[in-house]
A and B are shown apart, each in its own frame.
Chain A
Amino acid sequence: MFNYRAIAVIKRELREKLMSKAFILMTILLPVFMIGIIGFQTWIMSFEGDKNTKIEIITEDLSLTSKFESSFNELSFVKDTTYTVSFNTLSSAGLKEYIDSKKQLLIDEKLHGVIFIPDTALTNKEVQYYSKTPNNRTITEKLEGPINKVLLDQYFSEKGLSEDELQFARMEVDINGFKVSDEDEFKEEGFGNLILSYIFTFLLYLSLIMGGQMMMSSVQEEKTSKIVEVLLSSIQSKELMTGKILGGAITSTFQMAIWLIPIILLISTTWFVLPPELTLDITLFHLIYFLINFFLGLIIFLGLFGTVGAIFDTAQDAQSGMWPVMLLIMIPFFISFSVLRNPSNAVAEISSFVPFATVIVMPGRMVAGDVPLWQLIASIFVNIGTVLAIFPVAGKIYRVGILRTGKKPKWSEVIKWLKFKY
């Protein structure tokens, strides 16, 4: 199965893929694209669309109004005139009439909102917000904190507390994460690993699909252009498949290794300094494990994509026939994304040992939290086991499919192929 013929195929695949413009372009563009997406999102977020917001704050008590006024005028977004806040004092009885008088302004959004803070707010913190779009969280979230602060001050000022005590009451709880491991020191851990685990999961997802698509179209090319029959007069289908899969897997792993270079530099040199909340707590071992896992995953999925490519005559039919394989990548991807916040939850833990899913879930888990070594090794064995289990079947379907032409086969027919003596 692995001999000079398979090596010749690998060499051709590498020549074809590594030297191709598409490979070079993709290797450069993907990180640019990823950073671009993040940058774009941040940029979009900065447009909260609350420029020139006009808000009116009404309380029932003149002194409370002036406290709001002095406190709010200190706020940065009021100072830079992003928000224009006016103040008024009114009893709750007159509120209805007052809002009515402002109705047209509110509807035309010349005034974006009126916040009424009744006296009762000092006991239950219930505040009313009148607006054309009361669900616009951008405005309410921004004002919640400042309002709370004034209410707190007002509340505690009557209790005769000192400024220090007030300061304490205003503070929010700040949880600092310390990672407990076998090492002597408890390291303070930031978000770096969590972000990295998302990046790993995303890269795995994208690369497996990209590599798979390439594999599929390459098998398709050989099938539709009939090269495969010439090839099979020299080489066994097993050897051809092995060569193509390894060629594709080496290419994609090489590409992944290039993408990991920044991370390797980050953890092994002091050239770059990350802010403390973003520092990465991973070792070279993790990266090597990541690549080995990726390589095994490629062997599994390239095999499946190649098999799908062999089943169908046209690229179009193949596109529609690849959904079962796509699901095997997409479901673990979504599981992974939803469980990474808590890497030791049961779903994450179980799915990181399920064949196919382990390829995508385990690396993210490994980076997000501490995974014992035996689990990592077990995952590798699951992958190897998957390879051993699917390849006799995939190889058979490949062998039958690759020389078969005619109408689009049904899945039930494909299963019948397994019984063919080929």
Chain B
Amino acid sequence: MNALEVKNLSKSFGDLKAVNNASFVVPEGSIFGLIGRNGAGKTTTIRMMMNIYIPDEGEVILRGIKVGQEFKNKVGYLPEERGLYKKMKVLETLLYFAELKGVTGKAVKKKAKEYLERFDLTDRIDSKVEDLSKGNQQKIQFISTILHDPEFIILDEPFSGLDPINTNLLKEIILEKKKEGKVIIFSTHLMDFAEKMCDHIAMIDHGNIILNGSLSEIKQKYSQRNVSINYEGDISFLNGHPIVEKVADFGNTTGITVNDPGQIQDLLKLLVERGVNVKRFDAHDISLHEIFIDLAGKEEDILEEVKNV
């Protein structure tokens, strides 16, 4: 069962085609990752899903019905660029955002206080937002995203700019909400996070969806010829070896692609013969990162971007 269906969405700004005929589905109860480089069209796609932008073409179907205002009330949205009213007090801020979703009353106030306690912010309840540290402001922003108990949680680059504690906190919330059966959609250019958290992904590049589906299926499909190893010793002899298509060093692990799936055992044998101390040999394993590089172009570009994060 699909919670959301994105059908043939297109959006242009003047001459710039931001999103081109994008289609994918978000299954119920899943964590869905929209993956792509900066400027690939992720935010525009999300804004169209949120009905913030009206698509030039295409539509977004929510459980069989075209999205509209009622969808907004069911969504908690954490935009990439976050903002709060600086002069507003913490509790006021939370209640205001909930009120815009149509949630008011004592219950929500109580819940806001519970969240503040859980996030260790009880003593800041009457502080102005501007008096909070950046990390605490981020916490307020998360709380405001989920306070009205949304069925859909849409997070645009949720981990960018977060300190490690808040990163964990957010992961915790995401997994907790998943257990509650909520649908979580997030966009990121960080493949590691997507790989660890998502059940389903859609990969977008230059406004086009270049890949989408269940992460495990995708990995299976792309990993037939792939091995991921940890080792000690020298493997430079593999470069240019007839059974090896390419070697990619990721630091901790190395990804090796052979020319034919049947050659994986040969590879292991070769390594042992050459005296390489193999610590880990994972056949049919490929990182999302590798898939992305394969599909979306030059490795240098992407590494450059990862460095910039």
Is A233 a contact partner of B54 (Cβ separation < 8 A)?
no
Chain A residues positioned under 8 Å from B87 (CB to CB)? 16
Which of B72-80, B188-196, B276-284 has 4 or more CB atoms under 8 Å from chain A?
Answer: B72-80
B13 touching A420 by the CB < 8 A rule? yes
Is the Cβ of B82 less than 8 Å from the Cβ of A226?
yes
Q: Is B268 an interface residue (CB 8 A)?
A: no
Which residues does chain A contribute within 8 Å of B99, judged by CB atoms?
A: 4, 8
Alpha-carbon separation in the docked complex, A12 to B54 (Å): 27
A4-B54 in contact (CB<8A):
no
Complex formed: what's the CA distance from A16 to B87 in Å? Answer: 9
Q: Given B13, B53, B82, which contacts A230 in the complex, CB threshold below 8 Å?
A: B82
Chain A residues, CB < 8 A from B79: 226, 229-230, 233
A217 → B minimal CB distance (Å): 12
The answer to whether residues A4 and B102 also contact, given A16-B87, A229-B81, A421-B54 and a CB cut-off of 8 A, is: yes
Q: Which residues of A contact B101 (CB under 8 A)?
A: 234
- The reply to whether A226 and B72 contact each other, CB–CB distance below 8 Å, is no
- Say whether A403 faces chain B, with CB atoms less than 8 Å apart: yes
List the A side residues contacting B75 at CB < 8 Å: 233
Q: B residues 47-81 with Cβ under 8 Å of A?
A: 47, 50, 52-54, 56, 69, 72-73, 75, 77, 79, 81
Q: How far is the CB of B51 from chain A (nearest CB, A)?
A: 8
Bound: A5/B97 CA distance, A: 10
Q: What residue in chain B is nearest A237 (Cβ atoms)?
A: B52
Q: Contact between B84 and A233 (Cβ–Cβ < 8 Å)?
A: no
On chain B, the residues within 8 Å of A421 by CB distance are: 54, 56
Question: How far apart are A214's CB and chain B's nearest CB, in angstroms?
Answer: 13
A231 to B93, CA, bound (A): 12
Q: Is A264 close to B, CB under 8 A?
A: no
Q: Is the CB of A226 within 8 A of B81?
A: yes
Question: Which A residues touch B144, using CB under 8 A?
Answer: 230
Among A4, A226, A416, A422, the residue within 8 A (CB) of B83 is A226
CB distance B100 to A229 under 8 Å?
no
Contact B52 A227 (CB under 8 A): no
Given A234-B72, A421-B56, A422-B54; A8-B83 close (CB under 8 Å) = no
Q: Within 8 Å of chain B (Cβ to Cβ): is A267?
A: no
Interface membership of A225, Cβ < 8 A: yes
In whole Å, how far is B3's beta carbon from the nearest beta carbon of chain A?
17
Q: Which residues of B contact A236 (CB under 8 A)?
A: 69
Q: Does A366 reach chain B (CB closer than 8 Å)?
A: no
Q: Using Cβ atoms and an 8 Å threshold, which residues of chain B touch A227? A: 83-85
Q: Of A233, A416, A422, which is within 8 A of B50 by CB?
A: A233
> Does B86 contact A8, Cβ atoms closer than 8 Å?
no
Closest beta carbon of chain B to A395's beta carbon, Å: 13
Chain B residues, Cβ within 8 Å of A230: 77, 79, 82-83, 97, 141, 144
Nearest residue (CB) in B for A7 is B99
A235 within 8 Å of B (CB atoms): yes
Query: Hey, which chain B residues are within 8 Å of A232, CB to CB?
Result: 50, 52
The answer to whether B84 and A225 have CB atoms under 8 Å apart is yes
Q: For the complex, what is the distance from the CA of A227 to the CA of B86, rounded to whole Å?
A: 10
Kindly list chain A residues whose C-beta atoms are within 8 Å of the C-beta of B50. Answer: 232-233
The yes or no answer to A228 lying at the interface (CB within 8 A) is yes
Return chain A residues, CB-CB under 8 Å to B52: 229, 232-233, 403
Distance in Å from the Cβ of A386 to the closest Cβ of chain B? 27
> Once bound together, how far apart are the Cα atoms of A317 and B47, in whole Å?
26
Please name all residues of chain A whose beta carbon is closer than 8 Å to the beta carbon of B97 when the two chains form the complex: 230, 234
> For the complex, what is the distance from the CA of A232 to the CA of B72, rounded to whole Å?
9
B240 on the A face (CB < 8 A): no
Which residues between 209 and 257 of chain A lie within 8 Å of chain B, taking CB atoms?
221-222, 225-236
CA A229 – CA B78 in complex, angstroms?
9
Q: Does B164 contact A (CB under 8 A)?
A: no
Whether B53 lies near A8 (C-beta < 8 A) is: no
The answer to whether A225 and B83 touch (CB under 8 A), given A4-B102, A235-B72, is yes
A-side contacts of B154, CB under 8 Å: 233
Quote the shortest CB–CB distance from A235 to chain B (angstroms). 5
Contact B83 A229 (CB under 8 A): yes
Cα(A234)–Cα(B147), bound, Å: 13
For A233, the chain B residues whose CB sits under 8 A away are 50, 52, 72, 75, 77, 79, 154
B163 to chain A, nearest CB (A): 19
Residue of chain B at shortest CB distance from A15: B92
Docked CA distance A222–B99 (Å): 18
Bound complex: CA A16 to CA B52 (Å): 26
Chain A hits for B242, CB < 8 A:
none
A356–chain B nearest beta-carbon distance, Å = 30
B26-62 interface code vs A (CB 8 A; 1 in, 0 out): 0000000000000000000001001011101000000
In the complex with contacts A229-B81, A230-B82, A8-B69 CB distance below 8 A: no
Q: List 24 A-B contacts (CB under 8 A).
A: A5-B102, A221-B86, A222-B83, A225-B83, A226-B79, A226-B81, A226-B82, A227-B83, A227-B84, A227-B85, A229-B81, A229-B83, A230-B82, A230-B97, A230-B141, A231-B100, A232-B50, A232-B52, A233-B79, A234-B73, A234-B97, A235-B72, A416-B14, A421-B56
Hey, which bits of chain B sit against chain A, CB under 8 A?
13-14, 47, 50, 52-54, 56, 69, 72-73, 75, 77, 79, 81-88, 96-97, 99-102, 141, 144, 154
The 10 A-B pairs at the shortest CB distance, nearest first, are namely A233-B77, A226-B83, A227-B83, A234-B100, A226-B81, A225-B83, A229-B79, A8-B99, A232-B52, A234-B101
Task: Beyond the given A227-B84, A229-B79, please list 17 additional residue pairs across the A-B interface where CB-CB is below 8 A.
Answer: A12-B96, A16-B87, A16-B88, A226-B83, A227-B83, A228-B83, A229-B81, A229-B83, A230-B77, A230-B79, A233-B50, A233-B52, A233-B75, A234-B73, A235-B72, A416-B14, A420-B13
